[in-house]
Amino acid sequence: MKFAKRMEQFGEGVFSALMELKDRRLSEGKNVIDMSVGAPNIPPADHIIDALVEASKDKRNYIYAIKDLEELKEAVALWYRRRYQVELDPDTEIVSLLGSQDGLAHIALSILDEGDLMLVPDPCYPVFADGPRIAGAELYFMPQRKEKGYVIDLSEIPEETARRARFMLISYPNNPTTVLAPDSFYEEAIAFAKKYDIIVLHDNAYSELVFDGASCGSFLQYPGAKEVGVEFNSLSKTYGLAGARIGFCLGNREVVKNLAMLKSNMDYGMFLPIQKAAVAALTGDQSCVETTRAAYERRRDLLCDGLSSIGWKVERCPATMFVWADIPEKYDSSEAFVKELAEKAGVIATPGSAFGPSGEGHVRFALVQDEDKINEAVAAIKESRILE
């Protein structure tokens, strides 16, 4: 059998490799605390589940959806007006995604031709780079350095590179570094995009998971944003709907139009009961959002403070459902450290190298375990003596 050459760019996904390690340990009867994949374990609020269940009972809802329900588009527009003070045209500036991953994997196909240049953060969530690779794009990695607060410095991008670039992806609060970007960054990004005629995509999956009384808005709030690009948003973490796969592309109508056209040739739309659940999430009682945020903040405090108390200094992350930490000094490989952490402590995290060259030297923990399990993980790390 012969397969596409493009597949030579992709190895086994890091999360698949970690799952193999987990399964092997479990088969040996050993304990595992998995904090690698960002799979939320906080379920949706009852009113959201009830909407899904009721819609699922209606036999008329098992047809192809084909397109977004009008009530869903109106609910999304209301959400952005209420939460971000952003006005959106429901008919031309919003299209649903089968989760943000779907959009991130495919949007480059609607913007880039083979060989076109795309600007990608480093480190970054893997599909940020893998989606453009599927489209045959050339990648330029924009470093997110600790000494600059993990915020991209656009002035470091060479003039020739900026002129060649067609598409730029940014994301704050950031996965994996967990930081937020200041207003000045978005203003600079919009000016940069206008100067070099670059389309911008801002992934805003974690805007509701911001801690210590801080808050985060939307890329689309900034003047000129809709002229140069779009934002992705998701109900996965905010409303506990990760498995339902509900995301949205919002903003520039030409970008939205082209992505919608591409999707019309790839899928038949979002399952109608899931659209109904999304409407219930966006228009119903929003206290569940604060409950979820508070739960992740408590988990963050337990993990960061707990690790610091046993000799591994880990700063509290400002946002997201992750903790980004320097690996202990005696290790020079994040992958080697993660393997030893799993083997000796039974705690599974993700090596920073999985997120790009600049991720080396770090490890990412996902706050997807209950508080008792987080305490157990800290105790297991201490008992393993891996930090000594």
All domains of the chain in start order, with CATH? 5-43+288-384 (3.90.1150.10), 46-283 (3.40.640.10)
Hey, is 201 helix, strand or coil?
strand
Residues 73 and 94 sit within 8 Å (Cβ to Cβ): yes
Instruction: Tell me the pLDDT tens digit for each residue of 15-57.
Output: 677 788 889 889 988 899 999 988 999 999 999 999 999 999 9
Q: Which residues of 254-289 are buried (b: 16+ CB within 10 A; e: fewer)?
A: ebbebbbebbeeeeebbbbbbbbbbbbbbbbebebb
CA atoms within 13 A on the CB side of 302: 20
The confidence band for 176, taking pLDDT boundaries of 50, 70 and 90, is: very high
Please tell me which residue, 259 or 13, carries the higher pLDDT value. 259
* The predicted structure's pLDDT at residue 13: 62
Q: How many CB atoms lie within 10 A of CB 221?
A: 14
Q: Is 219 left (phi over 0), alpha (psi -120 to 50) or beta?
A: alpha
* The predicted structure's pLDDT at residue 359: 96
* pTM summary value: 0.96
Residue type, 38: G
Q: What's the whole-number mean pLDDT along residues 68-87?
A: 98
Mean pLDDT lowest for which of 18-22, 162-166, 283-287, 344-348? 18-22
Instruction: Tell me the pLDDT tens digit for each residue of 192-205.
Output: 999 999 999 999 99
- What mean pLDDT, rounded, does the chain reach? 96
The confidence band for 12, taking pLDDT boundaries of 50, 70 and 90, is: low
Question: At residue 14, does pLDDT exceed 80?
Answer: no
Question: At residue 369, does pLDDT exceed 80?
Answer: yes
Instruction: Tell me the pLDDT tens digit for each residue of 256-277.
Output: 999 999 999 999 999 999 999 9
Hey, is 147 helix, strand or coil?
helix
* The predicted structure's pLDDT at residue 30: 87
* The predicted structure's pLDDT at residue 365: 98
